[in-house]
A and B are shown apart, each in its own frame.
Chain A
Amino acid sequence: MSFLTIKGLSARLKGSTFPILRDVSLQVAAGDVHGLVGESGAGKSMIGKAVLGILPGSVEITAGAIELDGVDLLALPPIERRRRIGATAALIPQDPLTALNPSRRIGPQITNRLVDILGWPRPKAEARARELLAEVHIPDPDRVMRAYPHELSGGMRQRILIASAFAAEPRLIVADEPTTALDVTVQKQILKLIAEMQARHGTALLFVTHDLGVVSKVCQSLSVLYGGKVIEATGVRDFFRAPAHAYSRALLAATPKYTDPLASLTPVPEAVIAAVQAEIAAYDAGHGRGAVQAVLRGARHG
């Protein structure tokens, strides 16, 4: 029984026919880690945002369902939906530098979640926040609780955000490129930390990334996106052993090899891109959309 089920989710920019998501379906089982992979502009972050109900105002969902623990979020009234998401899901954002409120101390930023979502009394929330900070290997949690975000390094802030995401024991966490804004040495620690916390808390994770190397380390299954469409969805083992789709194979081939840093990078061949775009155009035509040209242009720039 999957915990998060997305069925036929389509979205577009308001006031245009340009689709951002095309009939996206995916499932994440409770306690599983599912990777969302694709180039920038492929719509992977949009899926995460749609699940958490924080799509930008310029995007509207045109079809589909997002079932969280068996309840279709899109069918709920806004207030009810927000409460439900708050109680069951959380976000590890991309950029730790902008993801903490700069004018408030760290302590309240974590404890407020516990107070808001779980209705805990403040002293209990504070004790728990301290535990959480220790759990993400932050030395001297007391001091960090009293610090302002700008007093801490990016890696520290990402640890705090991870602690904060796991704080209210959500059953699903959307990690939106959680290591992209960090430098390589810190990236590795943060990945390890996310994997460790995920395993300990048994939280399902929707892991948005453009890095297949990351996927191979933390995910059990993945969906490859292009132009807002799922090109391939499979288990991680199968994917790395034998990717089914030509685009997936090209993407895999384009991943830099750390064992051979001097080898020149292989871009995804033009022919493969043309083939995927033709596939999407065919899909659009089959769904009566007249935006094929726009799609091709958009995909090329995206």
Chain B
Amino acid sequence: MAEKARVDGRSHIRRRAGPRLWLSAGWLGVLLLAAVLAPWIAPQDPLAQDLFLGRLPPIWVQGAEPGFYLGTDSLGRDVLSRILYGARLALIVALVAGFVTCVIGAAFGLLAGFLRGWVDVVISRAIDIWMAFPPVLFSILLIAVMGPGLMSIIIAIVVIDWTRFARVVRAEATAQGAMDYVASAQVAGRGRLSTMVTEILPNVLPTIIVLLTLEMGIAVIVEAILSFVNLSISTDDPTWGGMIAEGRTSIHQAWWVLIFPLITLFLTVLSFSQLGEGLKDRFDPVLR
């Protein structure tokens, strides 16, 4: 036959993980370790107040005290230790809220996009209505009703953000559903739901993973916003948002109280989004 066994050049493209994946995964790995090991590696008790040690600058600035590497806030609490403990809450929220949002949103999106018909109408209209609510106000309202606490934050994020998944996954599932391979699966006697899971889902998965990591970043931000307006978990527990809120008031006297949690937050959110893109580049079998 004229055609050779062309499992051709296309299969020989090796995709490197690239610095994007390594850097973002590296930062998140460090953060995860920090969160898990916080009780052992934190130099100070994150809650210990000492007004005599208030507003100490970072270790490399004149007037610093040994043992307070990133300085202290106006109540004398160690900034580094609070960031480390804050990572625990941030990561729990990111992982749990991210996953739950993802599963719920993607499930609705798949159903709407693949089954079409009245299922699609109901879900799509629900998404439209849902998205008309201003998200921050909506979450503040939710938490005001449920009372502050870890559970409330997670529920608020899920309730607000499932539409983000549902909408994108619906569009992808619709596009995939029109492909001939889906028709072939149906001709071969596959049921609708089984086709959805075995044929559509694997092809939508790369998108879902990118969305999931984005969502984790967003969850961290939402948690920070809620801490900022004092609606996160109890005010005693250190959170990055809470630290930023406190640091804001003393920015002219002690910039480090604001800057270090802010940088941590920024790097974390950035890493989550880059992790998703990096994973997709690396593992999506379809070159897009």
Q: Does A189 contact B (CB under 8 A)?
A: yes
Question: Which chain B positions have C-beta within 8 A of A116?
Answer: 188-190
B-side interface residues, number (CB < 8 Å): 31
Instruction: For A148, list chain B residues within 8 Å (CB).
Output: 11, 285-286
A151 touches B187 (CB 8 A): no
- Chain B CB within 8 A of A260 CB: no
| A290 contacts partner chain B, Cβ-Cβ < 8 Å | no
Q: How far is the CB of B206 from chain A (nearest CB, A)?
A: 8
Is A155 in contact with chain B by the CB < 8 A criterion? yes
Please name 8 pairs of A and B residues whose Cβ atoms are closer than 8 Å in the assembled complex, sorted by A: A89-B187, A98-B180, A99-B183, A150-B285, A150-B286, A150-B287, A189-B1, A189-B2
In A78-130, which residues have CB < 8 Å from any B CB? 79, 82-83, 85-87, 89-91, 93-95, 98-104, 109, 112-113, 116-117
**A54, B186: Cβ atoms under 8 Å?**
yes
- Determine if A151 and B11 form an interchain contact, defined as CB atoms under 8 angstroms apart: yes
- Asked if B236 CB lies within 8 Å of chain A CBs, one says no
Residue numbers in A under 8 Å from B248 (CB-CB)? none
Task: Check: B48 CB closer than 8 A to any chain A CB.
Answer: no
Q: In the complex, which residues of chain B have a beta carbon less than 8 angstroms from the beta carbon of A101? A: 181, 185, 199, 202-203
**Contacting pair A151 B8 (CB below 8 A):** yes
Query: Given A82-B189, A99-B180, A189-B1, are A152 and B286 also a contact pair (CB < 8 Å)?
Result: no
Contact A103 B286 (CB under 8 A): yes
Given contacts A151-B8, A189-B1, contact A86 B188 (CB under 8 A): yes
Does B116 make an interface contact (CB < 8 A)? Answer: yes
- Whether B8 and A153, one on each chain, are in contact in the complex, defined by CB atoms closer than 8 angstroms, is yes
A100 touches B286 (CB 8 A): no
A99 x B2 contact (CB < 8 A): no
CB-CB under 8 A from B10, the residues of chain A are 150-152
Q: Chain B residues with Cβ under 8 A from A186's Cβ?
A: 3
| 10 new A-B contacts at CB < 8 Å, known A82-B190, A91-B183, A138-B5 | A54-B186, A82-B191, A87-B189, A89-B187, A98-B179, A109-B181, A113-B188, A137-B1, A147-B7, A153-B3
Task: Determine if B286 and A143 form an interchain contact, defined as CB atoms under 8 angstroms apart.
Answer: no
Q: Which residues of B contact A117 (CB under 8 A)?
A: 188-189
Interface string of B1-19 (1 = CB under 8 A from A): 1111111101100000000
Q: What is the distance, in angstroms, from A228's C-beta to the closest C-beta of chain B?
A: 20
Chain A residues positioned under 8 Å from B179 (CB to CB): 98-99
Chain B interfacial positions (CB closer than 8 Å to A): 1-8, 10-11, 116-117, 179-181, 183-191, 199, 202-203, 205, 285-287
Cα A152 to Cα B8 in complex, Å, equals 7
The complex places the Cα of A153 from the Cα of B4 at a distance, in Å, of 10
- Residue contact A99 to B181, C-beta cutoff 8 Å: yes
CA distance A89 to B184 in the complex (A): 11
Query: B54 CB to closest chain A CB, in angstroms?
Result: 57
Knowing A139-B1, A139-B5, A156-B3 are in contact, say whether A93-B286 is a contact too (CB < 8 A). Answer: no
Q: Which of B186, B187, B199, B285 has the largest count of A CB atoms less than 10 A from its CB?
A: B187
Cβ-defined contact, B191 with A144, below 8 A: no
> Which residues of A from 46 to 105 have beta carbons under 8 Å from B?
49, 52-54, 57, 79, 82-83, 85-87, 89-91, 93-95, 98-104
Tell me the count of chain A residues lying within 8 A, CB to CB, of chain B: 49
Partner of B180, one of A90, A94, A147: A94
In the bound complex, do residue B202 and residue A104 qualify as a contact, i.e. CB atoms below 8 Å apart? Answer: yes
Specify the chain A residue showing the minimal Cβ separation from B13: A151
The reply to whether B180 and A140 contact each other, CB–CB distance below 8 Å, is no
Interface residues of A in 152-173 (CB under 8 A from B): 152-153, 155-156, 161, 164, 168
Instruction: Find B184's partner among A87, A93, A104 (CB 8 Å cutoff).
Output: A93
A85 with B189: CB separation less than 8 A = yes
| B286 close to A91 (CB less than 8 A) | no
A89 to B183, CA, bound (A): 13
List, in ascending order, chain A residues with CB within 8 A of B116's CB: 57
Q: Which of B6, B116, B184, B185: most chain A Cβ within 10 A?
A: B184
Closest 4 CB pairs of A and B: A86-B189, A99-B180, A139-B5, A151-B11
Partner of B187, one of A91, A94, A147, A150: A91
Provide the residues of chain A in CB contact with B186, threshold 8 Å.
53-54, 82
B184 and A99 within 8 A (CB): yes
Q: What is the bound-complex CA distance between A58 and B208, given in angstroms?
A: 28
Q: Are A57 and B11 touching (Cβ within 8 A)?
A: no
Q: Is A185 an interface residue (CB 8 A)?
A: yes
Contact of B5 among A100, A104, A143 (CB under 8 A): A143
Most A CB atoms within 10 A — which of B117, B188, B199, B286?
B188
In the assembly, what is the distance between CA of A52 and CA of B184, in Å? 9
For the complex, give the distance between the alpha carbons of A164 and B199 in Å.
16
A103-B285 in contact (CB<8A): yes
Nearest residue (CB) in A for B203 is A103
Do A152 and B184 form a contact, CB below 8 Å, given A57-B116, A103-B203, A117-B189? no
Give Cα A93 to B191, complex, Å. 19
Interface string of A210-251 (1 = CB under 8 A from B): 000000000000000000000000000000000000000000
Q: Is the CB of A153 within 8 A of B6?
A: yes
Closest to A165 in B: B184
- Which residue of chain B is the closest to A140 with respect to CB atoms? B5
**Distance between Cα atoms of A117 and B10 in the complex (Å):** 32
Q: Which B residues are CB-close (under 8 A) to A90? A: 187-188
Bound Cα distance A285, B154 (Å)? 64
